[in-house]
Amino acid sequence: MATPTVPIAGALRLADYWTIVYKRTWKGGVITSFVTPFFYVVAMGVLLGGYVTADPDRLGGAPSYLAFIAPGMVAAQAMTIAFSETTYPVMGMVKWQRIYYSMIASPLSVGEIVLAQLGFIVLRVAFSCGVFLAVLAPFGVFGSVWGTVLALPVQMLIGLAFATPVFAFAAGLEDESAFALVFRLGMIPLTLFSGTFFPIDNLGPVLEVVARITPLWHGVDLTRMLVLGDVHWGRAAVHVAYLAVLAVVGWRLTVRRLSRRLVK
């Protein structure tokens, strides 16, 4: 099937579909994407963090433990949304409701379908993380206004970098049983050990290297540098490049695997 190189016009035809889906689901999304992480911030950052006294140098320059974990929580939130939007919903559209099949019966191509869905996910990440950042601001955890504003597009990039590989994985699965493992052995360890709650050098020299390879650490470190206003530009460029490469590779894989699934 011929796929146009820039499938934007086709993807825009799907905007109404995703708008309706969003209108239907945004209330539930508020709970999972905002209230839950907010509880985490209060419990871990404010209440537990009250017992944590550490040298700001050991916390990447953060003046308090709360200020240290707040950007990490935001980045983990971007990842969580990406996982949740590309696992069960993708399986549903392939297998349970078979909505992709109704889409490819129209003039739309798989590339356009994937682009539209990723666009929806990225906007959802932007909305949730935007609200999250706004709610965190009164806690006085952000050192730089401009850095915090810049952190929003960074969350979109983090969301995309996780959404595309997981989407590609989900598109080829026969059933949903692997998702439980993806969450338990993938997403949760990433959340816990990628520098969100403690500096990764606490992990020891070997595990620290492992943590440095994980995409979430790149997202967390980048977000933290930005919101604290202490940006090392070389490191930031590496983070952006890493996440962008992951997003692009995952994207191509997604189109390939979904095409193989639907067009046969």
Partner 1 sequence: MISARGLRKSFGQRGKKGQGTEFEAVRGIDVDVQRGVAFGFLGPNGAGKSSTMRMICCVSPVSGGDLRIFGLDPATHGPEIRARIGVCPQEDTLDTELNVWENLYVYGRYFGLPRDVVKGRIDELLDFVQLTDKARAKVDDLSGGMKRRLTIARSLINKPEILILDEPTTGLDPQARHVIWDRLFRLKQQGVTLVLTTHYMDEAEQLADRLVVMDKGVIVAEGSPRELIERYSTREVAEIRFGVGQNEAAAPQVSDLADRVEVLPDRLLLYTEDGERALQEVLGRGLRPETTLVRRATLEDVFLRLTGRTLAD
Q: Which of 76, 104, 157, 226 binds partner 1 (CB under 8 A)?
A: 104
Q: CA distances (Å), 3 to each of 15, 66, 112, 213, 255, in order? A: 19, 48, 8, 34, 10
Candidates 26, 39, 98, 241: give the one binding partner 1 (CB under 8 A). 98
Provide CB contacts within 8 A for 202, sequence distance 6+: none
Residue 15 or 241: the one with the smaller Cβ distance to partner 1 is 15
Burial class (CB in 10 A: 0-12, 13-18, 19+), 194: buried
The answer to whether 17 contacts partner 1 (rule: CB under 8 A) is yes
Closest to partner 1 by CB, 99 vs 123, is 99
- Residue 35 in contact with partner 1, rule: CB under 8 A: no
What is the C-alpha separation between 174 and 121, in angstroms, rounded?
23
Closest contact distance (angstroms) between CB of 179 and partner 1 is: 20
Residues in Cβ contact with 110 at an 8 Å cutoff, skipping those fewer than 6 apart: 1, 3, 104, 255, 258, 259, 262, 263
Q: Which of 26, 106, 180, 232 binds partner 1 (CB under 8 A)?
A: 106
In this chain, which of 97, 145, 204, 209 binds partner 1, going by CB under 8 A?
97
Q: Which of 48, 99, 126, 203 binds partner 1 (CB under 8 A)?
A: 99
Q: Applying CB under 8 A, does 27 fall inside the site for partner 1?
A: no
Task: Give yes or no for a contact between 66 and 40, defined as CB atoms under 8 angstroms apart.
Answer: no
* Binding footprint of partner 1, residue count (CB under 8 A): 26
Instruction: Point out which residues bind partner 1 (CB under 8 A).
Output: 1-2, 9-10, 13-17, 20, 24, 97-99, 101-109, 262-264
